[in-house]
Structure 1
Amino acid sequence: MSEITAEQVAHLAYLARIDLSPLEITSLTRDLGQIVDSIAKVSEVATADTPATSHPMPLTNVFRDDVVVPSLTVEQALSGAPDRAGDKFRVPAILDEE
């Protein structure tokens, strides 16, 4: 079991200005102890020849290739627009710019 004590948890809570009840201190002491124990177990098997990883599975690019496909015409795209200026949507100015 870990070396985390209820006094240490209470002290850390005091330093962090967190008001914990005695029940919360007991629960957090147990939880933090389990975390420390888990890290210790990983440290036992993580040797110098074990490469560091940021993810347990190798990651590959998940994006598809860009493929040009038929799209809407300008008239189709603007057919439902409430206002337009030529071949563009017209929207209200929001930055007091022209």
Structure 2
Amino acid sequence: MFISYAHESAGHVAVVRDLWVFLRRHGVDARLDWEAEGQRRDWALWTADEVRAAEVVLCVASAEYKRRAEGRSGPGVGRGCSGRPG
């Protein structure tokens, strides 16, 4: 399972990470960008690769996530959700 979400606030990120920890503790092979956070990368490409590789994708779809997924936020805004304009 890959968990995709928008990094819209520290509180929101903490809740998503708590969900990830809960799932991992209960035997779900969940993946989250937190595991790859210390490395420089193209986050849109990384997210697309994770989505392709996952059997299940869980989107924590806040209003900010929706805006980014629709390509309505500026380039380089956020990490856990990326969209393609158009």
Instruction: Establish whether TM, by shorter chain, passes 0.5.
Output: no
Greater relative contact order, per chain length (Cα 8 Å cut-off, separation 6+): 2
Larger helix fraction of residues: 2
TM-score scaled by structure 1? 0.22
Larger strand fraction of residues: 2
TM-score scaled by structure 2? 0.24
| Pair member with larger Rg | 1
